[in-house]
């Protein structure tokens, strides 16, 4: 009898985890060379408790797309950004499809990453949509060389910018960098991201 209870509990756990997997879920296609969108909210990940081949659903409102136009179709507005930033290459474009839609463009150079985001201002032109809540030693400003009315607040250390937030027209923007970028590169981004 003592052995039946743990076995029954294990079977119940496995059945509960398998039951969480919704039919029709798809695996994330990180290579996605075919040009179709890979919906992260419909993705599955292996579930350690259910055995090989089983999966549990993880919900998120981010959808990986192959180009900015696909993101614009999903969120209702577009975003322009550079193909590369100081040696970082565009690697991923995400559309955040929730009550507060957003486009997120990711750039990589080795393991270092720069993320650019754009969202509707929703009444606050200085909203911080970066997702970076670190405290930094230095705070400053950067001004677009193309339009001096576009001014960002910069956050950094050791004379490098790790985070930048700004608003323009009816949108808010952010830039985060895992390795930091120099002030000139930060200012140039203000002229390239809109």
Statement: the pTM of the whole predicted model exceeds 0.75: no
Rounded to the nearest angstrom, the gap between the alpha carbon of residue 32 and the centroid of all alpha carbons in its chain is 17
168 within 8 A of 77, measured Cβ to Cβ: no
Q: What is the mean pLDDT of the chain?
A: 77
Confidence band for 67, pLDDT divided at 50, 70 and 90: very high
State the DSSP code for 129. -
55 within 8 A of 21, measured Cβ to Cβ: yes
Q: How many angstroms separate the Cα of 190 from the Cα of each of 62, 122, 164?
A: 24, 20, 10
> 70-111 pLDDT, tens per residue?
999 999 999 999 999 999 999 999 999 888 899 999 999 999
Q: How many angstroms separate the Cα of 154 from the Cα of each of 13, 25, 33, 126, 127?
A: 49, 41, 35, 12, 13
């Amino acid at each position: 009898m003592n052995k039946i209870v743990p076995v029954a509990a294990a079977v119940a756990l496995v059945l509960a985890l398998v039951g969480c997997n919704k039919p029709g879920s798809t695996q994330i296609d990180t290579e996605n060379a075919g040009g179709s969108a890979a919906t992260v909210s419909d993705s599955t990940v292996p579930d350690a408790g259910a055995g090989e081949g089983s999966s549990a659903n993880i919900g998120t409102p981010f959808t990986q797309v192959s180009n900015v136009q696909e993101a614009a179709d999903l969120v209702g507005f577009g975003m322009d950004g550079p193909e590369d930033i100081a040696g970082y290459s565009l690697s991923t474009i995400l559309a955040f499809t929730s009550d507060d839609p957003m486009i997120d463009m990711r750039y990589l150079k080795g393991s270092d990453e720069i993320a650019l985001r754009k969202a509707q201002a929703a009444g606050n032109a200085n909203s911080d949509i970066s997702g970076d809540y670190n405290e930094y030693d230095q705070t400053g400003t950067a001004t677009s060389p193309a339009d001096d009315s576009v001014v960002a607040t910069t956050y950094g250390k050791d004379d490098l910018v790790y985070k930048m937030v700004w608003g323009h027209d009816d949108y808010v923007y952010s830039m985060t960098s895992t390795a930091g970028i120099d002030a000139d590169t930060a200012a140039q981004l203000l002229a390239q991201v809109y």
